Amino acid sequence: MSLTISHLEKHYNTVSAVDNLSFDVQPGEIFALLGPNGAGKSSLVKMLVGFTYPDAGEIKFVDENEPFSSIPSQLLGYLPEDRGLYPEKTLKQNLQFFAQLHGVTNDDIEERCQHWLTKFSLSDRLNDPLKSLSKGNQQKVQLITAILHKPKWVILDEPFSGLDPINQELVVEFLAELKQQGMTVILSAHQMAMVEKLADRVLLLNKGQSVLYGKLSEVFDHYNNHVIDVNFRKHVDNTQLSILSSAFVIKQLSTSRLTITLNEHQTLNELLPHLLKLGEIHELKNQSQSLHAIYLQAVAEHNAHDCKEQSYEK
């Protein structure tokens, strides 16, 4: 059963934390929520798990027409932004406590704990107080507590927080295994390189609004077809370059090399005749962008558009 979010809004006094947001999450996928600090990710996550309520809009399962907040706790795993373990207790005590809260039997607890502790190289720390672990290892224990009961839906707020690159890769493997087990994962993250490896679809928020939404593969196709690298055999004609710069976004890397970013209405066929006026082309290719670069570009464009809209209102 898929989850659909329709025209969701959340306001705090005069601040619009989530602004008319609509999207869906399909069963069995890894869905990533992206955005700068203050973009609305945490506000959205808190509404998804029922900690706060929207001022308008709906969060519900499509097939059953039931609100997502009605999901039984056994079917939902949650990693909160503010972690909630017991530092004086041992790893074993923490894991047992959270598993029992979700109705997991003692026999199952031991088997599942052993599986994940082995994955995270923590088996020899089972009887150690949680506070004796590094921040990164405590984060891994928190992740285990969120999924010991084998939920159908998993919501993770910043699962890579506090982890070094090696442990980030372990969490990538952890999340991939959750997907293999049939769980649907919704995660918020700032680590674009990790999201690139994992996500089926992404939603980029900025100022509470949807800036970019869709399959990750389609996001790459769209943006990588819009940044063109051009190498010329000789120095470009500066007069023609000035004319071209009035219609296209151009970055001059050298006297004979340009990077041109097309907007959504411009095409390579439209650009090509102008390029030929600059000089003889030696090489022309689409530039491959990382998710990090796409993120920065999309947010910058949204901020610029927002500023223009505000200036028109004055």
Three-class SS of residue 192?
helix
pLDDT recorded at residue 162: 82
User: pLDDT tens-digit profile of 176-206?
Assistant: 999 999 999 999 999 999 999 999 999 999 9
pTM > 0.85: yes or no: no
Rounded average pLDDT over 224-252? 90
Whether 10 and 51 map to the same domain: the answer is yes
Give the pLDDT confidence score for residue 307 in this predicted structure.
54
Rounded Cα distance between 250 and 245, Å, is 6
Question: Residue 150: which domain range?
Answer: 2-214
Over 90: is that where the pLDDT of 117 sits? yes
Question: Of 36-45, 63-72, 131-140, 152-161, which gets the smallest average pLDDT?
Answer: 63-72
- CA 89, distance to chain mean position in Å, is 33
Tell me how far apart the alpha carbons of residues 46 and 273 are, in angstroms, rounded to a whole number. Answer: 52
Shared domain check, 129 and 195: yes
Decide if 308 is inside a domain: no
> How far apart, in whole angstroms, are the C-alpha atoms of residue 170 and residue 68?
30
> Quick one: 236 and 199 in the same domain?
no
Q: How many domains is the chain partitioned into structurally?
A: 2
**Could you tell me if 180 and 127 lie in one domain?**
yes
